[in-house]
Structure 1
Amino acid sequence: MIKVTVDGEEVEVPAGATALQACEVAGREIPRFCYHERLSVAGNCRMCLVEVEKSPKPVASCAFPVMDGMKISTDSLVVRNARRSVMEFLLVNHPLDCPICDQGGECDLQDQAVAYGGDSSRYRENKRAVPDKYLGPLVKTIMNRCIQCTRCVRFSTEIAGVPELGAVGRGEAMEITNYVEKALGTELAGNLIDICPVGALTARPIAYMYRPWELAKTDSVDVLDAVGSNIRVDSRGPDVIRILPRTHEDVNEEWLADRPRFAFDALKRRRLDRPWVRRDGQLRPATWREAFEAIAVRLRGVPGERIGAVAGGLADAESVVALKDLMTSLGSANLDCREDGAAIDASRREFYLFNTTIAGIEQADALLIVGSNPRLEAPVLNARIRKQVMNGSMTVGLIGPEVDLTYPHRGLRDGPSTLAGIANSRFGEVLRNAKRPMILVGRGALARPDGAAVLAGAWDLAQSLNAMREDWNGFNVLHRSGGQVGALDLGFVPGERGKDLGAMLNGGVDLLWLLGADEIDPGLIRPGTFVVYQGHHGDRGASRADVILPGASYLEKDGTYVNTEGRVQRGRRAVFPPGEAREDWRILRAASEVLGQPLPYDELGAVRERLVAVNPVFAGVDAVPRAKLAGGAPAGQGALSDTPFAYPITDYYRADVFGRMSDVMAQCSAERYGAAAPAMAAE
């Protein structure tokens, strides 16, 4: 540590710290445009000028390393005049279109011009004009406003790993451009909007729709992938206007993937807003009482072993535990939350968690990815892997079809047989020599006939590498959705003599209750099975239903979710569900009354007490309890197949019900993959 004096106050900072960091330790606010703590230092906006003793001129604090005994002034006359001059230059060509700019009211340039700029301008000439660039359906550009801070260039190159932006020209002719005019090829494009300090990059889907002071802000969590990114939902009246990331260093840092950010327009498309009952082969509107009675009539005389339930990947823990309790009261042990048929052993938590934790990726020095494409399955987590790789601290190997992960990796053979022989390969030597090796198993590797053998093989490999110790657990399963781990924690899997998903679909039950299970092919359900679909969109599950119960989406209810690392988080209601739709656990509570098996809770607090009673991990919100290593391995039978792995997501933008219902995601899919938008039911 070294000592630095800032405005007469002595502070201690680590060796190698910059003057800007020293000023922040001292509690001084330093204006900046180009500097961002997660990006490389550019030092090109000069707004962060400070005065250093014995320096002939002000210095850019973001790029100036401090030395022991250095004295810094942040508010001297020299600094004030320097900042005013810099601001005057920045505004020379910046248009005065604040009244129509979507960034108005939350613009760094506006705020700092008022705080640090002068009270008049000497500029009288015409401002320059810069043509706008096309960056795709998500990011709108008004390049006249650009101040060449290069944050977007550095983000796309360093964080997203897609170096498609850069600068051309010099001086007044300098422009930020994407070289070839096409959509950005990254799943993190929306973060460019957040880091732009002016209105040059804004959100195209919601352009000219809002002012920030009109919006109600609700803190919540995302469930469209298993990272559990912390988000802020901005709404106006009954409408969600935008979704922004919240900073959580251990989960998503300050980034958010594009599908969770922009797919909320699905809330207005093909929603289920009233109960439906199939009569004479046609689905017809019904009251809640009629829908529940139709289920009760069908259940008469049906034994518990002929009743089954499937929970979808977006279901909150409250609704999952309510459905489990209802099925138990009806005498059924036919439960499954693995819509993809993944061979996951739910007997111990460490068998299905990302045990390293998301933040723990930055401690690993070797990674073997088995049957997963984290770039599409969890873009924010993939960015964390890329950061560690680009720091030179991690070597990555991939067992699966070759894909662009945005970072260098060794492509191994694409079949599970490679897993069996990896220990004797060159990359096996890399894993053995690593101090903190990781193995990442994707859901696609487990949703196969030999999925149980793959899981057991990956576990055995981790043990042979000494990757599971008291101080380090390198065995990881990467899930796809935010509700999958919570359902596993609640034991929503076949009980004693219970049937799994395959058996239930193949005629093993007479009544099948689907709780938001939209990833199941309805054609696999045996004809004659009575299907109750409870969900929020008229998607795959609803197409086969005999009774439809309209539920609420994750943005329309208070819910508990567990991310892929086992972190319990709470989502909060931002808007109300449409029409007669209700929260899912309340629907199940009302149904249980009509079915003659009333559930013993009426309030959300009581349901959450039930969660803790079923599994104590739900008592620790925003915590990742470390599982104690015990003996034994996941149950795995059979031999590894030679069939190559297949990734579960091929079209990132349509990977879930929100993506399939979103018009914005349809545009992105057409731009990226050339896919046509799906036809509406009426078409």
Structure 2
Amino acid sequence: MKVTVDGVPLDLPAGTSGIDAVFAAGRDVPYFCAHSYLSPVGACRMCLVESGSPRKGKDGNFELDEQGEVKIFWFPKPMAACTMQATEGMHIKTAATSEVVAKSQAGMMEFTLLNHPLDCPTCDKGGACELQDRAFEYGYGASRFGFDRRHADKHYPLSDFVILDQERCIHCKRCVRYFEEVPGQEVLDFIERGGHTFIDTQEGGLPTGFSGNITDICPVGALLDNVARFRGRNWEYDHTPTTCTLCPVGCAITVDARNGRLERIVGRENRDVNEIWLCDAGRFGHTFASEGRLTRPLIRENGRLREADWDEAIAAMRRGLSGIHPSQLGLFIAADSTLEEGMALERFAAQLGAGNVDHWPRHPVQLTAPAATLTDVAQADALVVIGADLGEEAPVLELRILEALRGGILPTEFDHGTAIADLRLVERPARKPEKLAVIGRESSIWRHAGIQAASNGHNAVARLLRPDTDELRAALKLLEEAEKPVVILGADVLGADVLGSGTDGLAAQVSELANRTGAKVLAVAAAANSTGLAALNLLPRSGAAGYAGLTDAPAAFLSRLDPVGQGLLSLPRGFTVVHDTHLTETAQQADVVLPAVTNYEKRGTTVNLEGRFLALEQAALSAGEGADLIRTLTALAEALGVRPQVRGLKSAQAALQERLGLRVDTLPPQGALNLNVNRAAAPVGVPYTPQLWKPRMRPAPQASEQPDLGRGQASWAAPLSAAAPTGGDD
């Protein structure tokens, strides 16, 4: 359809909102209540525009004016652009060409600021506040009202993580609509009327899971992240766009650091993965990254660990490993390590001839059924979740399922970005629980399902193929009658099968289910990058037992694994080197402890549960002498007298390009999808226990809990003189 904005002709798809038409023309209009992933409601009245449309006469043609041009009939008053649908031939005027619009917007800004407190210098949103920016651009610049402003509670806790300043709230209703429309929880609403209106919850708190998103979408400083509150000003932060690795979804985030500390995690848009939402664990669970960190190597002398430099640590490793043939060394890494780190370990293990190499937890099973993406989940007309507790395994995947239940409407994408106001989104959307079946134990997604079937994860897929209950028969029928069905497999079914009859049985059952119903399958990966590392040769060979046989290894190197702390495995009696960010229980028993960096401090690549390659960037955090796995392996290689083939990030990325045929150093912002990569997996009979893996979100140890390092008092933030190994070409 043809639309004209301030004299600029446009060709737009039908159904486009007026506000998106304005931005498509390169013009600007202020707004507070509109949000790309929420319903447009026209609450703030800031996006006022003049608009007019042609009329058709009795002959079916547009009426013409005296000059023979199509006559435009203008609406008598300015209209909110976010709730107005652009129509064929419509003309729109913004403040750039209409004095009426400019005066109307200035008047609305004056009303918005009527009772707003003048506390911008002390507000955490200062410098990044939509109200500040728009008041400067579209306001009068001065207030005509000298009376005292309304007062309300300025430190009202909605939960342990979210603080509400009731004076700053401008009643845009974003937070209310978010809970109603995204997680489907009607917990917030307006209370009282007129000048006494405020936001609150009758339940006395916000539900955990996804509550922190309201701090991102609040256009003012009314809703604040209590973990990051008063930690710094927006212009003092170093903002680093990166990827969250606390679960296999791979949400896009921005890491805000100040003076070397990680102070705040903010959601970042990736339409194909998390849209713009984060779970509370990913948003608030970052404090471990700056508290209680290991900043220098530790070596064991006289039965106790003491601080040392890297040269001393290398010498200690050389002495401790002198009686061990390099091929006998066990090499074990966490499955949230980057692809580059995995590539470095694979090449290093090949140089040593080491067969006892492993990553943990492994991608559990190799599937041949068609793979589903997160977008497939959001647009599915039938979903069956089998053996998954998504609130623990992949929280944002739960939001994509709920998106499917409310119609699977994904906002349109324009040249100016995601649609600001998609008119297909409505308040209090009707959900269709009959589209969702949950098989397994009760979990957070259970209450949204129309079909609920309790089942042991070990044989859930087999029982679904040959249903013996009404619930299972209904779930199978749901898949068979759908046009776009998706099956989601969780840890209960994936892990139980590997511990039992091996992966071949489950793979065959899933293939049979997919062929019978036409469903795509999404297997929830065991950890953040277990899908990617499964594509590398990081598996035990030559009869080695792998990570599960750690106790029997002659000597071992463990990177960011804590088997002792999890109470499942003990360290070998031989020499042990631990590479970790904190002094875990495993590290306390090691012979040499090397300081590691967190995934917030790495450059590299991870692969999420759908097979999407996503980039990690290095945030400006103080890690002391901490080093990533690539650099640490160079130190281990020096102790063993070996020159590693991969000595830095660039050489690791070159090796990955050779192996995978993909340049991971030039990934687009939304990542690169490769559905085939998540078909690689561990061989039959490899133990897989999801309970072995827990994201690193523990608090820093208290002073009374800090272990004796052999120097009288632990030095957690001492000035550092020595530097970690450089890693060659990094």
TM-score range, shorter chain: 0.7 to 0.9
The 1:20/1:526 distance shift into structure 2, 3 A limit, reads: closer
Residue 656 of structure 1 pairs with residue 678 of structure 2: no
Does the aligned pair in 1 maintain the 2:383–2:435 contact within 8 Å? yes
Does the aligned pair in 2 maintain the 1:343–1:452 contact within 8 Å? no
- Cα-Cα RMSD: 3.1
The 1:526/1:45 distance shift into structure 2, 3 A limit, reads: closer
Counterpart in 2 of 1:547? Answer: 592
> Any idea what SS the aligned residue of 2:599 has?
coil
The 1:546/1:298 distance shift into structure 2, 3 A limit, reads: same
Counterpart in 2 of 1:327? Answer: 349
* Alignment gaps of 5+ in structure 1: 639-644, 664-676
CA distance, structure 1, for counterparts of residue 50 and residue 233 of structure 2? 38
Counterpart in 1 of 2:484? Answer: 436
Pairwise CA distance, 1:198: 0.9
Counterpart in 2 of 1:57? Answer: 77
User: Which of 454, 457, 460 is 1:418 aligned to?
Assistant: 460
CA distance, structure 1, for counterparts of residue 601 and residue 689 of structure 2? 34
Counterpart in 1 of 2:420? Answer: none
The 1:243/1:354 distance shift into structure 2, 3 A limit, reads: farther
Pairwise CA distance, 1:278: 2.5
Residue 344 of structure 1 pairs with residue 388 of structure 2: no
> Any idea what SS the aligned residue of 1:33 has?
coil
Does the aligned pair in 2 maintain the 1:107–1:198 contact within 8 Å? yes
Does the aligned pair in 1 maintain the 2:315–2:639 contact within 8 Å? yes
Does the aligned pair in 2 maintain the 1:318–1:559 contact within 8 Å? yes
Does the aligned pair in 1 maintain the 2:270–2:276 contact within 8 Å? yes
Does the aligned pair in 2 maintain the 1:456–1:635 contact within 8 Å? no
Counterpart in 2 of 1:196? Answer: 218
CA distance, structure 2, for counterparts of residue 60 and residue 310 of structure 1? 59
The 1:354/1:481 distance shift into structure 2, 3 A limit, reads: farther
User: Which of 59, 69, 90 is 1:70 aligned to?
Assistant: 90
- 1:389 maps to a residue whose letter is L
Residue 317 of structure 1 pairs with residue 339 of structure 2: yes
What whole-Å deviation, never above 9, does each CA across 1:191-238 have from its counterpart, x for those lacking one? 211110111012222222322222222222221111222222222332
Pairwise CA distance, 1:275: 1.5
User: Which of 613, 617, 621 is 2:658 aligned to?
Assistant: 613
CA distance, structure 2, for counterparts of residue 33 and residue 86 of structure 1? 11
Residue 371 of structure 1 pairs with residue 387 of structure 2: yes
CA distance, structure 1, for counterparts of residue 162 and residue 16 of structure 2? 34
For 1:269-418, what aligned pairs fall within 5 Å after superposition? 269-303=291-325, 306-339=328-361, 344-345=364-365, 355-391=371-407, 395-405=435-445, 407-416=448-457, 417-418=459-460
The 1:568/1:449 distance shift into structure 2, 3 A limit, reads: closer
Pairwise CA distance, 1:497: 2.4
CA distance, structure 1, for counterparts of residue 198 and residue 684 of structure 2? 57
CA distance, structure 1, for counterparts of residue 663 and residue 86 of structure 2? 46
Pairwise CA distance, 1:409: 4.4
User: Which of 514, 525, 535 is 2:570 aligned to?
Assistant: 525
Counterpart in 1 of 2:10? Answer: 11
CA distance, structure 2, for counterparts of residue 409 and residue 298 of structure 1? 60
Does the aligned pair in 2 maintain the 1:133–1:181 contact within 8 Å? no
CA distance, structure 1, for counterparts of residue 257 and residue 232 of structure 2? 10
User: Which of 638, 658, 662 is 1:593 aligned to?
Assistant: 638
> Any idea what SS the aligned residue of 2:235 has?
helix
User: Which of 145, 169, 189 is 2:168 aligned to?
Assistant: 145
- 2:276 maps to a residue whose letter is E
* Alignment gaps of 5+ in structure 2: 53-73, 408-430, 468-472, 709-730
CA distance, structure 2, for counterparts of residue 222 and residue 137 of structure 1? 22
- 1:101 maps to a residue whose letter is C
TM-score between both structures, scaled by the size of structure 1: 0.87
> Any idea what SS the aligned residue of 1:62 has?
coil
Does the aligned pair in 2 maintain the 1:419–1:458 contact within 8 Å? yes
Pairwise CA distance, 1:144: 0.3
- 1:83 maps to a residue whose letter is Q
Does the aligned pair in 2 maintain the 1:390–1:407 contact within 8 Å? no
> Any idea what SS the aligned residue of 1:447 has?
helix
CA distance, structure 2, for counterparts of residue 382 and residue 257 of structure 1? 10
Does the aligned pair in 2 maintain the 1:35–1:62 contact within 8 Å? yes
Pairwise CA distance, 1:550: 1.0
- 1:378 maps to a residue whose letter is A
Pairwise CA distance, 1:588: 0.7
CA distance, structure 2, for counterparts of residue 512 and residue 629 of structure 1? 28
Does the aligned pair in 2 maintain the 1:293–1:594 contact within 8 Å? yes
Pairwise CA distance, 1:464: 2.6
Greater C-alpha Rg: 2
Pairwise CA distance, 1:633: 11
> Any idea what SS the aligned residue of 2:167 has?
helix
TM-score between both structures, scaled by the size of structure 2: 0.82
Does the aligned pair in 1 maintain the 2:554–2:572 contact within 8 Å? no
Counterpart in 2 of 1:24? Answer: 23
Counterpart in 2 of 1:474? Answer: 520
Pairwise CA distance, 1:454: 7.8
- 2:480 maps to a residue whose letter is R
Counterpart in 2 of 1:502? Answer: 548
CA distance, structure 1, for counterparts of residue 681 and residue 250 of structure 2? 27
Does the aligned pair in 1 maintain the 2:294–2:596 contact within 8 Å? yes
What whole-Å deviation, never above 9, does each CA across 1:312-351 have from its counterpart, x for those lacking one? 1332222222233333322221122133xx6724xx6x56
Counterpart in 2 of 1:488? Answer: 534
> Any idea what SS the aligned residue of 1:422 has?
helix
Pairwise CA distance, 1:34: 0.9
Does the aligned pair in 2 maintain the 1:397–1:411 contact within 8 Å? yes
Residue 512 of structure 1 pairs with residue 512 of structure 2: no
What whole-Å deviation, never above 9, does each CA across 1:124-180 have from its counterpart, x for those lacking one? 332222235322232222110101111001112211333221111122221111123
CA distance, structure 1, for counterparts of residue 647 and residue 370 of structure 2? 34
The 1:662/1:147 distance shift into structure 2, 3 A limit, reads: farther
> What fraction of aligned residue pairs are identical, expressed as a percent?
31
The 1:434/1:646 distance shift into structure 2, 3 A limit, reads: farther
For 1:218-257, what aligned pairs fall within 5 Å after superposition? 218-257=240-279
Counterpart in 2 of 1:212? Answer: 234
> Any idea what SS the aligned residue of 1:513 has?
strand
> Any idea what SS the aligned residue of 1:21 has?
helix
CA distance, structure 2, for counterparts of residue 662 and residue 371 of structure 1? 33
The 1:418/1:318 distance shift into structure 2, 3 A limit, reads: closer
CA distance, structure 1, for counterparts of residue 404 and residue 199 of structure 2? 28
Does the aligned pair in 1 maintain the 2:363–2:682 contact within 8 Å? no
